[in-house]
Structure 1
Amino acid sequence: MSWEQQGYQPQPYQQTGYSQPYQQPGHQEGYGQGYGYSGYAPEPYPPEYVEYAQGAAQATAPSPVREPEPEPELAVAAPPTDAEAEEEKPPPRPPGRDRYFDTLRAVALIRVVTYHTFGWAWAGMVFPSMGIMFALAGTLMAKSLERPALKVVRSRMRRLLPPFWFWGSFVVVAMLIHDWMPGRQIVYWIVPLGDPPGNAWAEQAWEILWYLRTYLWFVLLSPLLLKVFRLAPVPVLLLSLSPILVLHFAWEPPDDRFGSALTDLATFLFCWILGFAHRDGVLRRLRPFAVVVLSLAAIGYGGWYAFTHQAETGSYDLDDIPLAQAFWSAGFVTLLMYAKAFFRIDFAWLTRFRRTDRLVTVFNSRAVTIYLWHEIALILAVPLIDQFWKVPAFEKYLPLESQWFMFGVGWILIAVFVLLCGWVEDVAGKKKPKLLP
């Protein structure tokens, strides 16, 4: 043990003599009085020896023990600054899809195909598919407009137009073969801001394009509509029914492309704005009593008008009566959307049923394909069933005369079109093409 470790501290040396006595430090270890060093004061070392001793001590001192460096993946870095944390923060994971809305969209598509197969006038009252689809689209549009409006509009058009062009190329070629002479209105087959022209031979195929035209106009108007809505959400939502009242009671629009587009926009404006209200949480803040009463009042007025004005259209079909369609859809869809907001319905349990959940996923990922091609599938089902009559076994054992049989054959053909043409939606959405999503 060295003197420094024992607590030995030499006193200052005198220039001459040994008059300064050695003071024993008050340490429990070291040399005490019994060793006979009580009066000894050492002679100071020469400067040369001191320098030599210091150098030797440094040379012979043991090098400090170096701790092993941690492995790179286990090293703990210093906490980053706020700016670095913002830059290095991984992108958030996309939220899971809302299975409640996905299920509503799937059921709406099934109802559309059912209506075009059987022509039931009451189908729109049981489930107003078009109002539901516009409300869901409005919700998604409000969510997307958290990004720059121009990018959102371009993205929506990119997702819609390529499937429309792909489908339209077959329809246009078929009409040309069947003596159709296009005019300058053919431009609407490029961007359907108006009803694309066609001949009577393919009317059943192209008459459904009113939905794409209306959807496209809502997409273009949404940045402005959303700003106006957020100025006074509840008043704007209620006033969104006023355009259809004006068109019906005060001013009749012209019977042309402009008038048709204006009527459809007015009919489903409330449903689109309702999607904004759901996205912004406006519905959740409303009182249940007021929502239920007003919704039932709208449904009652729409139903009353449809049944009391059958003489004008020959039916109570909501598709033929815009005013009834607007109010019935407004009340019905409001109850569906408010139930979602108030009870926080998410249909998460659907994932436990893998096949059903898979089917809902396919319907939503191929919604444009199903909508565009379903009429062609139903058209092709008729000559296909006619061939079945030539097979005696089919004629005897299959219900070839039943519309339900045509309904089933139509869905088989729709599935074929989904497999053959659905990839266009993947390309339009900048995804890897797949047979099924």
Structure 2
Amino acid sequence: MSTTPQKAPNQNMTAPPLSPGPALSPAAPPVPPADATEAAPVKRTPVRDRYFDLLRAVALFRVVFYHLMGWAWLPVVFPSMGVMFALAGNLMARSLKRPALHVVRGRMRRLLPPLWLLGAVGVTGMVIQGWGPDAEGHPGWWWFDLLYWIVPLSDPPYAEGLPGIHGLIGEDWAAELAGPLWYIRAYLWYVLLSPFLLKALRALPWPTILSPIALAAALEFGWLHIPFVRIDSAVTDFSTFGACWIVGMAHQEGVLGRLPRYVIPSLVPFVAGYGLWYALTHGFAPGHDLDDIPFAQSLWSFATVLLLLHLSPSWTEWPRLLRRWDRLITLLNSRAVTIYLWHNTCILVAATVWDRLWNFDTLADHEAWLLESPWPVLLLVWLLIGACVVCFGWVEDVAAKRRPRLWPDRDRSAPTRQKAAAHRA
């Protein structure tokens, strides 16, 4: 009921005749008819797209699986990095309905604290094992380069060739720990560029979407050379996955929805087919994968992402067959940055610990097949990732200004809160 004060009636106007009945107190507000009473509208908050949550969870699991198994065909079956960048681009475009500076600052606040925690553990361990300015041979630059562990505009430095810890972690562990950091660096650059990319997308949609692939072609065929190593890596990553990020933004902006439904399914096979053909004829062989051929990777990832977004069913609730996986998918999405940052180290620790079992003669003589199998190692990897989620994952809640939780496997979504509010009303 409105609380706005009512104006006093004009004394010069003739009051309408009152029907018989008890007189109302002057202080009593008029009572509306029962059939006109309506519940106060509940303020609706954005609802999670469960289809996107599923894609992100599958992409994250595939990354861990591939880094353990090393099967080159896995990135072809599901190009995880392109999918993850596309989903992030979609979310970024939705967020940019608010002031750009506020959104960029918020994304950086969520992204960087997990990196700082990794750096605090990793860099401390490297220094303890003797890494420092003298080891790098250029003390001045060493101190400056450490700033990339705080704001990773370029790849943070790390020690190479460090000895491991016997029976616990293998040699050159710092290189494995630093391996995933390229993703954080690329993600940060995409976030910083997104306000400009969104303006370009709205002005020239398809030239903007295809510009990273054109850049990948220019780099691949030698039409463009980047002389600086740190800049070269950032430009290469933008050319490889930039189209995925921008097409995610385009999906949020409705650019894909304006196309006739038959266009994307008709074009995707040609784009993906050319990308795969180029990979097969330019070094895609055992011991190599699509990451070694950025131009092919850009085409294959773009085509796959385009099709996945075209098929997007926009689930607000889980289909019946997927409801049993809700807690696992929620956990993977809630701790995606932690899992990605620590999974390489978990793989190295799991492999080192598992290899120690060869020291038991009984197992080595009679159960060699088990010791050679990667599947027990995969199970051990996920147990270690679970430990990292408990030990380090809370920082993602702190970065997002949420109450820290050790194991966020339940979805506290807006529909649940809305239902509770409606029930109380």
Please report the TM-score for the alignment, with normalisation by the length of structure 1. Answer: 0.76
Determine if contact 1:307/1:316 at 8 Å carries over to the other structure: no
Cα distance in structure 2, aligned partners of 1:281 and 1:399: 51
Does residue 308 of structure 1 match 2:281? yes
Q: CA RMSD in A?
A: 2.6
Who is 1:207 aligned against?
A: 179
Who is 1:373 aligned against?
A: 342
Q: Output the amino acid matched with 1:246.
A: A
Counterparts of 1:416-427 in structure 2, within 5 Å, are 416-427=387-398
Alpha-carbon shift at residue 288 of structure 1 (Å): 3.1
236-245 vs 125-134, which deviates more? 236-245
Q: Output the amino acid matched with 1:170.
A: V
Which of 190, 198, 202 aligns to 2:158? It is 198
Which of 205, 217, 221 aligns to 2:189? It is 217
Which of 235, 250, 261 aligns to 2:234? It is 261
Counterparts of 1:5-154 in structure 2, within 5 Å, are 66-67=23-24, 92-154=43-105
1:392-429 per-position Cα deviation (integer Å, ceiling 9, x unaligned): 78766692221111111101100111112111100000
Alpha-carbon shift at residue 358 of structure 1 (Å): 1.0
Who is 1:359 aligned against?
A: 328
Determine if contact 2:50/2:314 at 8 Å carries over to the other structure: no
Determine if contact 1:351/1:357 at 8 Å carries over to the other structure: no
Cα distance in structure 2, aligned partners of 1:140 and 1:65: 60
Q: Residue 384 and residue 104 in structure 1: after superposition, are their counterparts in 2 closer, same or farther (change >3 A)? A: same
Does residue 233 of structure 1 match 2:205? yes
Alpha-carbon shift at residue 287 of structure 1 (Å): 2.0
Counterparts of 1:338-353 in structure 2, within 5 Å, are 338-340=310-312, 344-346=313-315, 348-350=317-319, 353=322
Q: Output the amino acid matched with 2:302.
A: A
Alpha-carbon shift at residue 291 of structure 1 (Å): 1.4
Determine if contact 1:309/1:316 at 8 Å carries over to the other structure: no
Does residue 173 of structure 1 match 2:124? yes
Cα distance in structure 1, aligned partners of 2:316 and 2:373: 35
Cα distance in structure 1, aligned partners of 2:315 and 2:362: 47
Cα distance in structure 2, aligned partners of 1:150 and 1:207: 30
Secondary structure at the residue paired with 1:95?
coil
1:325-355 per-position Cα deviation (integer Å, ceiling 9, x unaligned): 0001011110101111xxx352733467544
Determine if contact 1:253/1:263 at 8 Å carries over to the other structure: no
Cα distance in structure 2, aligned partners of 1:265 and 1:414: 29
Aligned length: 358
1:87-119 per-position Cα deviation (integer Å, ceiling 9, x unaligned): xx9773223211110000000001100111011
Q: Residue 351 and residue 95 in structure 1: after superposition, are their counterparts in 2 closer, same or farther (change >3 A)? A: farther
1:348-406 per-position Cα deviation (integer Å, ceiling 9, x unaligned): 33467544011111111100011011111111112322444566787666922211111
Q: Residue 90 and residue 423 in structure 1: after superposition, are their counterparts in 2 closer, same or farther (change >3 A)? A: farther
Secondary structure at the residue paired with 2:370?
coil
Does residue 415 of structure 1 match 2:390? no
Structure 1 residues without counterparts, runs of 5 or longer = 1-63, 78-88
Cα distance in structure 1, aligned partners of 2:339 and 2:311: 28
Cα distance in structure 2, aligned partners of 1:130 and 1:366: 16
Secondary structure at the residue paired with 1:348?
coil
Determine if contact 1:319/1:325 at 8 Å carries over to the other structure: yes
Does 1 or 2 have the higher relative contact order (CA < 8 Å, sep 6+)? 2
Q: Output the amino acid matched with 1:361.
A: T
Alpha-carbon shift at residue 289 of structure 1 (Å): 3.0
Cα distance in structure 2, aligned partners of 1:296 and 1:253: 32
Cα distance in structure 2, aligned partners of 1:91 and 1:189: 44
Q: Residue 367 and residue 351 in structure 1: after superposition, are their counterparts in 2 closer, same or farther (change >3 A)? A: farther
Alpha-carbon shift at residue 294 of structure 1 (Å): 2.2
Secondary structure at the residue paired with 1:197?
coil
Cα distance in structure 2, aligned partners of 1:177 and 1:407: 30
Determine if contact 1:99/1:350 at 8 Å carries over to the other structure: no
Determine if contact 2:279/2:296 at 8 Å carries over to the other structure: yes
Secondary structure at the residue paired with 2:132?
coil
1:228-265 per-position Cα deviation (integer Å, ceiling 9, x unaligned): 11002133223342111122220132361110111001
1:255-300 per-position Cα deviation (integer Å, ceiling 9, x unaligned): 6111011100111111011011100111112123321232211111
Structure 2 residues without counterparts, runs of 5 or longer = 1-20, 34-39, 134-141, 161-171, 409-425
Secondary structure at the residue paired with 2:179?
helix
Q: Output the amino acid matched with 1:321.
A: I
Percent of pairs identical after alignment? Answer: 49
Secondary structure at the residue paired with 1:434?
coil
Does residue 317 of structure 1 match 2:277? no
Alpha-carbon shift at residue 121 of structure 1 (Å): 0.8
Cα distance in structure 2, aligned partners of 1:239 and 1:220: 17
Determine if contact 2:86/2:247 at 8 Å carries over to the other structure: yes
Cα distance in structure 1, aligned partners of 2:261 and 2:23: 71
Determine if contact 2:48/2:316 at 8 Å carries over to the other structure: no
Q: Output the amino acid matched with 1:291.
A: I
